[in-house]
Structure 1
Amino acid sequence: MQKPSGATDLLIDGDRTDSYEVVAARGKLVEGTDIAVKRLTRMSDSGTSQFLNEVNLISELQHFNVISLLGYCFHSDGHILVFEYHANRSLDLYFFGCTESSKLSWKIRHKIIKGIARGMTYLHHDSCVTIIHRDLKVSNILLDKDMNPKISDFGISRLVSRDHIQTNTNKVAGTRGYIAPECWSDKIFTKKLMSLVLEL
């Protein structure tokens, strides 16, 4: 993928999953808004399904700690998602980065945990639809210029009934190490985020 017109920074170059290949770049809208443009190519059927799921879910959400979808394009050559840009990129860079500047103070960690908890409370209890994320991990937490966390990547998220704190699934989905043990043993996923909190 070539950078979009006006793009200034390649964020992801050829990141692959089983379902699609991702290229993302930073750009700017005509009125000056910084954006992140994510293009998904080589889509499998499951990749297309994840793309549509993400569009449908995020377009219903409005919360300070949940990423905002500004637009999308569904095309045979590749699908595009346009998000607000976050200056401090993703949380995983602060855990796996090798420079002194990548280290987080306990005050900032506490702020990030509180923000993630607020965002997850919104997804589970306060939004117009109840959503279980299913892949909450440090690389899916974006940070704005003030280090406020934004929950992202809703491709494998699941809608559940508002009065259920857990639900069954036929397929275990997510990232190893972040998936709750009961998902593997009982095919049940719940509204928990302890793996991420412990990592912080």
Structure 2
Amino acid sequence: MKQALLEDTVIHADETTVQVLKEDGKAAASESRMWVYASGEGSKKPIRIFEYQPDRSGKRPAKFLKDFGLHAVVDGLGNPVEFLLSAGNDHDSVHAVELLKKVRIGGSAVLADRAYGARTIREYISAHGASYVIPPQSNVSDPWPVDWHLYKERHLVECFFQKIKWFRRIATRYDKSDASFLAFVYLASIAILLL
């Protein structure tokens, strides 16, 4: 039933409070959440899935709807520059070069975490006149030097993702279609830039 719901063009997701008596590890007066996932109005198969969760964390629907990932490039101030959507089960580094091709990187320093330390990514960055600040993974036989002081600025992309999750529609991935989700990412980014 879940697979049929995920194939629908529109999925509605919402949560409501519930009180469960005699729940292990929780007081009887504490609140839990019931997440509801429903097919769209014009769906051929009306589907409702109820999922009990102990909290209202945005991770709950994101896990339920995990079918795409969002990749972003931000500038030196943490402002969004470019986005790319990918399948949720792809490793982040698979799409790094594709995303970097959308941005002029010459003369800049590209900061990324260890997952992006693949040779093809580093070679692409170097070939386009930029430097990379990417720590090698612990199992690399020939590690490269890293400017750890500059690497601390990588928090800017993490801060951007934290800001974009202020928008519940993004944090919980209400939009099923990639185009709708990406459109709202752009709208949310504009709102962040205007703040």
Please state which band the TM-score falls in when normalised by the shorter chain: under 0.3
- When the two structures are superposed, what TM-score results if normalisation uses the length of structure 1? 0.26
Name the structure where helix makes up a greater proportion of residues.
Answer: 2
